[in-house]
Chain A
């Protein structure tokens, strides 16, 4: 694999696609074991944009029927913003009394997933778990255990496989790190 340039910065390969996908497959196995036997399968909530590639790969390996919903977390909506409320946009599935799995690209400080988790639990979800592609060392700050992490992540800035640098690079099939 070669170095690439995104905007004005150079990135070198860090994790090749095969390795990422193997990790995701392993994670899918864990999720299958957990939920396969459930009478009502959990609702998967994918947090856009970053998690799209991870989610696509993950769901290919889940062997029970999945209900999937894609949402975006925005700190304000459009131009007519008032106040500063962080909202989940696009959450239109019924999740009251259900188990929910948040599908996130990266859990860093865990604050975002914690925020979403709180919101879902308050709105009636019976249980909320998080599945993420990369789990950072500081993620224990989330205040609850993250049970489904595919890989560990360091502190370096990465792009590719859903991660961007200033809008570009999400489509790269491998994960790169800044030089």
Chain B
């Protein structure tokens, strides 16, 4: 058993899993109706699964040991198994559970030969006693739940009056060999019962099918091994009192928890963040709220959600902390990359209304009504979903009596939180909160108006009556409740963890919409069509062309039979086989309907060969082994039943192919083995594929073989034997999307393609260039106005600085020192959030004020130094020539100052132009902010940032050039003499 468990653990490495959050929970038999159920090929559970859950999706496994891992990994939801095995598995694998409901209940008992009825009855009596006094329950606990230290066998009795010969299979914990002795639950019951009757026991282990015959023939007195009492068996055997109630149960995952084998400790709860890096939004309370819950987390602060997402994507952090709707949106949008790991703090999202406002009650009622009608759910599904095309504000017109007589509902929110409230298509504000509040206004017979306000000022604006309702993922808190009224909750959000999916979790679902390579005319072609209807199949004539097409990026994936793919993967490290199987199908021998008898003979032989392990050996020999020198089992000499002619195609390695002039392969070997068993000689006829089927149907040959899939269509015309092989189709993708082995040309072409796609996304789609232009306009307006006002102000500063009045002089000195010593961003924020906080002035004006003040300080000093550099004598000379003082300054002094300071002035001007990029902090949508907004829609950092840099660069140089031109014009040397 331990070895088996080790094998299971090793298999973990081979299996990936589905996306964790779509895994379903199985809590009762009914949940299995349409679940994914694993079946071990060739077991009775195959029949039961189809009988009890005809609609369930089934997946076949050839080895039972794979199934628990597949369940834990989320590949399948459940499997049927024997109750005792389920108990053992549950003990060994704590993530599994089985449903208490039994699909089939079975009573296990011991059997005697009918001649031994008397002994059997005595045994029954002992078992009844042991049941009554709790011995059986005790033994159950000991053998099923205990460990080796308690699992001791009772001492054999002395001077027995006879020996009872017992036979059983090796089935832990019922009866199994440990240190050369047969021990176990059933063994101990039998030994105790025998001891009571004065007998010793002697136990041997054997295969199940020999148990019954051993008892019947008298080679053993009693047989055990979870033998279920059936009416059929009762006819030939005497059963004791049942000692165990087993049956068929459903094995599934515990707590719906998916274990991700091979993944580096996945994040599923807040505790999993320990020792990891988590991205937080600067200025959010996420870190503060998370810190008490988990230790040793490294918080990385990012300025917006997109940067956080980028950090997660590139592995700079292991998780992002987001508002629940945001995390939900990203998990839906990028379901291939990220998953919503956990929501660890539930919060009620509400709207804020001025204290005592009559609007509160109206909004409450409308929210309740929308909840009741189901429309609120629809809004949530729409905005938090992945389908971007649906995300548009709807115009309602169902109210015939709408007049807007109740005025305008002024709604404010910070439009930076997709999907709650954000700037979407064409620069339009949209999102769940906006749509909901628009609808509420409509229902309340009010017009709707939205103004963007930064989050920190929302409640202030409501309290000062600048707006009626504030939203944007506002959360109910008692502190806020003191300032404003809160409506009923319209959404239960909270704090969520968004985590990256492990690479090993690449699932088949990602192949949807991709280019998939298939060999034309094979079953994989139909399967691609059926399973990935939205993908684009690309047909190839030969399998060998496909891997090259994959590597060069012509296709995204291909589908082929597993054994071929595995062989390829051994020699080609650049491809990656997805662990999930696309489909499985059975291959079998093919007979004409007239050959029913032969077909049945073959089926029987195949079943026998399966039971005795011959098939497994052959599979190893031909399909799994890398050996290329295998030969087909030799034919028996002088076959008594004559020659069987059969057809095969001879061109499907490793099933039927010609090597060194010999027809070899798995199917050939299976056929030879069967023929040897049945006493036939074989004579192959090699025919191409279509001819092969015809030859079988027409009776030209007795049967056909050669990797022939059992299909419903073929079944209508032909007979199939018991399957000889279960083939699987698997999908193959590039080992890494940025595979270095790709030719550089291809890489260049791809880079160009992705660049042009980025360009399209950044500028063309949704007319985003308009946003860029608008942003640029704002940037230029701020720069030019600040330059004009700053320069005018600079004259004043300069004059003050040169003033003889000490007060003016010192004021100017302090002013200049302040401006030069304070970061412009800090000054802007002070102006916006403190100085002009209450004044209702446009943020652009605040920015112009700030930059003008800053610019004036620098330029004032420039003027002063320029002025100081002009010899005093020039003024005197001009005055003596009859110039007025003003005219002397204008005509003689000023042009010289300009020439001296112009290069520095130009530098200052360009530097201010670039500095305006910080105005986004005070809610101005300038060029930088617009590129942020575009990034928040395109989810990429590279292109919009580079594009913005280029726009700044070009504009700065154009502006600087225009100043140079001005400088040129102002230079007296260049002006025409009158």
List the interface of chain A (C-beta within 8 A of B).
9, 50, 73, 75-76, 79-86, 92, 106, 108-109, 111-112, 115, 138, 141, 157, 163-166, 178
Which chain B residues border A92 with CB–CB below 8 Å? 28, 30, 33
Which of the segments B211-219, B364-372, B827-835 contacts the partner chain?
B364-372
Task: Decide if A109 touches B22 in the complex (CB within 8 Å).
Answer: no
List 14 A-B residue pairs with CB atoms under 8 Å apart, sorted by A's residue number: A9-B364, A76-B328, A76-B380, A80-B20, A82-B331, A82-B335, A83-B335, A84-B385, A86-B378, A86-B381, A106-B373, A109-B374, A109-B375, A163-B372
Q: A138-B398, A141-B398, A157-B368 are in contact. Are A111 and B386 (CB under 8 A)?
A: no
> Counting CB contacts under 8 A, is B927 at the interface?
no
Chain B: CB-nearest residue to A104: B374
The docked-state distance in angstroms from the alpha carbon of A166 to that of B369 is 11
- The chain A residue with its CB closest to the CB of B30 is A92
Within 8 A of A (CB), among B384-405: 384-386, 398
The residues of A that contact B339 with a CB separation of less than 8 Å are 82
Known: A83-B335, A84-B380. A108 touches B369 (CB 8 A): yes
Q: A82-B22, A84-B385 are in contact. Are A112 and B365 (CB under 8 A)?
A: no
Residues of A within 8 A of B489 (CB): 166
How far apart are A145's CB and chain B's nearest CB, in angstroms? 19
Give the nearest-CB partner of A105 in chain B.
B372
Q: Is the CB of B332 within 8 A of A83?
A: yes
Q: Is B204 an interface residue (CB 8 A)?
A: no
B contact residues around A82 at 8 Å (CB)? 19, 21-22, 328, 331-332, 335, 339-340
Among the listed A81, A108, A163, which residue makes an inter-chain contact with B340, where contact means beta carbons less than 8 Å apart? A81
Closest 9 CB pairs of A and B: A112-B374, A84-B381, A108-B373, A75-B377, A84-B385, A92-B30, A79-B343, A82-B21, A157-B365
B820 CB to closest chain A CB (Å) equals 53
B365 touches A84 (CB 8 A): no
In the bound complex, do residue A83 and residue B374 qualify as a contact, i.e. CB atoms below 8 Å apart? Answer: no
Bound CA span A85–B335, Å:
14
Residue ID in chain A nearest B360 by CB atoms: A8
Cβ of B361 < 8 Å from any Cβ of A? Answer: yes
Contacting A111 at CB < 8 Å: which of B332, B374, B385, B488? Answer: B374
Q: How far is the CB of A91 from chain B (nearest CB, A)?
A: 10
Tell yes or no: B342 within 8 A of A by CB. Answer: yes
Chain B facing A: main interface SS: helix
Q: Nearest CB to that of A10 among chain B residues?
A: B361
Complex CA–CA separation, A111 to B398 (angstroms)? 14
- Closest partner residue, chain A, to B329 (CB atom): A84
B576: interface (CB < 8 Å): no
**Residues from chain B with Cβ under 8 Å of A80 in the complex:** 20-21, 340, 342
B373 and A112 form a contact (CB under 8 A): yes
Closest to B346 in A: A79
Complex-state Cα separation, A82 to B328, whole angstroms = 6
CB neighbours of B378 from chain A (8 A): 75, 86, 111
Complex interface: chain A residues within 8 A of B21 (CB): 80-82
When distances are taken between beta carbons in the complex, the residues of chain A under 8 Å from B581 are none
| Alpha-carbon distance A24/B21, docked complex (angstroms) | 42
Q: In the complex, which residues of chain B have a beta carbon less than 8 angstroms from the beta carbon of A166?
A: 364, 368, 488-489
B382 interface residue per 8 A CB criterion: yes
Contact A108 B372 (CB under 8 A): yes
Are A109 and B385 in contact, CB atoms less than 8 angstroms apart?
Answer: no
Are A79 and B342 in contact (CB-based, < 8 A)? yes
Supposing A79-B343, A141-B398 touch, asked if A85 and B372 sit within 8 A by C-beta, the answer is no
Q: How far is the CA of A123 from the CA of B20 in the complex (A)?
A: 26
Q: How far, in whole Å, are A79 and B380 apart by their CA atoms in the complex?
A: 15
Are the CB atoms of A109 and B368 closer together than 8 Å? no
In the complex where A73-B374, A109-B375 touch, is A85 in contact with B368 (Cβ < 8 A)? no
B377 contacts A83, C-beta separation under 8 Å: no
Is B377 a contact of A81 with CB atoms below 8 Å? no
Q: Mark B340-353, 1 if CB is under 8 A from A, else 0.
A: 10110000000000
B332 touches A75 (CB 8 A): no
Q: Which of A79, A83, A164 has the most CB of B within 10 A?
A: A83
**B332 CB contact (under 8 Å) in A84, A112, A115:** A84
B368: chain A residues at CB < 8 Å are 157, 164-166
| Chain A interface, >50% SS class | loop
Known A-B contacts A82-B332, A138-B398, A141-B398; the reply to A111 vs B373 at CB < 8 A is yes
B494 nearest CB neighbor, chain A only = A79
Q: Is the CB of B328 within 8 A of A81?
A: yes
Chain A: minimal CB distance from B750 (Å): 30
A9 and B373: CB pair below 8 A?
A: no
A108 and B328 CA atoms in complex are apart in Å by: 29
CB distance from A108 to the nearest CB of B (A): 4
In the assembly, what is the distance between CA of A31 and CA of B398, in Å?
31
Interface contact A75-B22, CB-CB below 8 Å: no
Given contacts A79-B342, A84-B385, 20 further A-B contacts (CB under 8 A): A50-B372, A75-B377, A80-B21, A80-B340, A81-B328, A82-B335, A82-B340, A84-B328, A84-B332, A84-B381, A84-B384, A86-B378, A92-B28, A108-B369, A108-B372, A109-B373, A111-B374, A111-B378, A163-B372, A178-B365
Chain A residues contacting B365 (CB-CB under 8 Å) are 157, 178
Min CB gap A119→B, angstroms: 13
Residues of B within 8 A of A164 (CB): 368
| Chain A contacts for B328, CB-based, 8 A | 76, 81-82, 84
* In the complex, chain B residues whose CB is within 8 Å of the CB of A163: 372
The CA of A34 and the CA of B540, in the complex, are separated in Å by 60
Nearest-CB residue, chain B, relative to A94: B33
Known: A80-B21, A109-B373, A111-B375. A75 touches B398 (CB 8 A): no
Closest Cβ of chain B to A73, distance in Å, is: 7
Q: Which residues of A contact B332 (CB under 8 A)?
A: 82-84
Q: Which residues of B contact A86 (CB under 8 A)?
A: 377-378, 381
| CB neighbours of B335 from chain A (8 A) | 82-83
Task: Point out the residues of chain B lying under 8 angstroms from A9, CB to CB.
Answer: 361, 364
User: Please, which residue of chain A has its CB at the minimum distance from the CB of B443?
Assistant: A155
B56 to chain A, nearest CB (A): 14
Complex interface: chain B residues within 8 A of A112 (CB):
373-374
Chain A residues near B361: list those with CB within 8 A.
Answer: 9, 178
Residues of A with C-beta under 8 A to B22: 82
Least CB distance, B496 to chain A, in whole angstroms = 8
With both beta carbons as reference points, the residue of chain B lying nearest to A112 in the complex is identified as: B374
> Could you tell me the distance in whole angstroms from the C-beta of B605 to the nearest C-beta in chain A?
41
Point out the residues of chain B lying under 8 angstroms from A81, CB to CB.
Answer: 21, 328, 331, 340
Per the 8 Å Cβ criterion, residues 307-359 of B in contact with A are 328, 331-332, 335, 339-340, 342-343
Given A111-B375, A157-B365; A75-B380 close (CB under 8 Å): yes
Bound form: Cα–Cα A178–B378 in Å: 26
Q: How far is the CB of A134 from chain B (nearest CB, A)?
A: 10
In Å, the complex CA distance between A141 and B398 comes to: 10
Q: How long is the Cα–Cα vector from A112 to B375 in the complex, in angstroms?
A: 8
User: When the two chains form the complex, which single residue of B19, B30, B369 contacts A157, counting CB atoms closer than 8 Å?
Assistant: B369
Specify which of A79, A84, A157 is in contact with B382 (CB 8 Å cutoff).
A84
